[in-house]
Amino acid sequence: MDSKQFKEAATSAIDEIVSYYDTIHTRRVVSNVEPGYLKKLLPAGPPEDGEPWAKIQKDIESKIMPGLTHWQSPNFMAFFPASSSFPGMLGELYSAAFTAPSFNWICSPAITELETIVLDWLAKLLNLPDCYLSTSHGGGVIQGSASEAIVVAMVAARDKYLRETTSHLSGIELEDAIAYKRSKMVAVGSDASHSSTQKAAQIAGIRYRSIAVTKETNFALTGAALAKALDQFKAEGLEPFYLTTTLGTTSTCAVDDFESIASTLAKYAPPDVPGEIWVHVDAAYAGAALVCPEYHHLTAPFKHFHSFDMNMHKWLLTNFDASCLYVKKRKDLIDALSIMPSYLRNEFSESGLVTDYRDWQIPLGRRFRSLKIWFVLRTYGVKGLQAHIRKTIKLGETFAGLLETRKDLFEIVTGPSFALTVFTIVPKVPGSEAQDKVTKDVYETVNKRGEIYITSSVVGGVYVIRVVSANPLAEEKYIRKAFKILVETTEELRDGKLPRDQPSNGVIVDVKGVGIEKVAA
């Protein structure tokens, strides 16, 4: 493909993408293909001779589209959104054109420096404390996902804890002390924390414990619950070194009590003292709301913590992947993750005057992801981003208001919170077992029909449905459509008019974050 052919192919591809977005609301949201469908449609191997683009492009609609779940559809109300925007797409296009692994500053200075600049822009927009800016001892770095960010933070926390608590030893005594401490160290989260904390502990070779959260605290972790858990760990001879707190939990969008957590930790393990507990704020989805001043009050306690992460690719109009991790002390990352083989040495890195982001992450190479963030920030501006967040929060309030008009059918469990509403179906015959059954039946039937896509969860032992409409194409008419579908399906099921002879392709999100699993019909 030469430059002329590329221009023709790219024009055709863009036309098709624009048409896809213009008509996406008409497509079935969830793919209903059978496992292995694609292997039956594709040949056993690549063609011997190259094929023209026109032939390749035809296979997008006929072979790929049937196997896609359309996350950008306004009828997609499951999980959390995975935003996409045209400025973000243009950023990806340029990034692909420039293609550079960019592990060192010298590999492409603009790639490193733009990342530093736009993440400082974003930190100020989110009202993060100044300690997270690159102009202080901290700074930001783009990771692939919030899960990846938690792994990076936990590895840094582990090494920091071991380094500080064994600094008085050397030789074989040091090795033995590190081995012993690793056997006692424990990473901590709450029952509502995302499963990525447990997975990070598994990767880091560290124990993991979760702290129970209850409806009485709106499923948020509190300082009192943390204090009780820390006392228990101490009694068991364990050494907590890392804690994930959450701004917007997966199941309910709960916000942990950061102030009381900071107060508890100040008594248990004072900050900046060897052996302190590293606190990470996982704000993967709801952190985007911090662009609005009305949420700025949430960030004040973050000055007591060590790291913060939010995904621009969830709610802030930037294509996957763009997870923005901030640390209060970048030295903690560099000490844990830096290795300097001879083939990476260069005068700029050794001068100490440049940033090499390879030392802030697990992989060596990295993509030019800051470009799409730069394009999005400049295209929408602060006011445009705030307008998007406020619009979708309003949609969540509208949906919750609709549920309130049919209290005979629906009971709100939590929310609306950051555009997410969590609710159950009211059974005809009272009882938790009947409630769980009818809620599950409604959820499965709605997803089986494919007009909208929703997810379920188990919160406080109760089976619930989650609805969040927060992607760029979300509108009130689709919220009202979803409500209508839920009402009609609930009434049909409660009256026993609906057959149950087809399997569901829905998913359930476990409140403990153990993962996602298929729900049997």
224-239 pLDDT, tens per residue? Answer: 999 999 999 999 999 9
Query: Would you state the pLDDT for residue 105?
Result: 76
Q: Which residue has the higher pLDDT, 348 or 26?
A: 26
457: closest CA among 426, 486, 488, 414? Answer: 414
Query: Would you state the pLDDT for residue 350?
Result: 53
Q: Which amino acid is at 79?
A: F
Measured CA distances, 168 to 172, 278, 333, 425, 441 (Å): 13, 21, 22, 60, 61
Q: Give the tens place of pLDDT for each residue, 452-480.
A: 999 999 999 999 999 999 999 999 999 99
Q: Give the tens place of pLDDT for each residue, 322-336.
A: 999 999 999 999 999
- Whole-prediction pTM value? 0.92
Query: Would you state the pLDDT for residue 340?
Result: 66
Query: Would you state the pLDDT for residue 519?
Result: 29
Measured CA distances, 23 to 19, 452, 478, 517 (Å): 6, 15, 14, 31
Query: Would you state the pLDDT for residue 508?
Result: 43
Separation of alpha carbons 130 and 122, rounded Å: 12
Structural domains for the chain: 100-367 (3.40.640.10)
Is the pLDDT at 514 greater than 70? The verdict is no
Which pLDDT band, with edges at 50, 70 and 90, does 162 fall under? very high
Query: Would you state the pLDDT for residue 431?
Result: 82
E-strand stretches of 109-220 = 139-143, 185-190, 207-211
Query: Would you state the pLDDT for residue 358?
Result: 84
Element (H, E) at 179: helix 171-184
Separation of alpha carbons 15 and 13, rounded Å: 5
Residue 177: CB atoms within 10 Å: 16
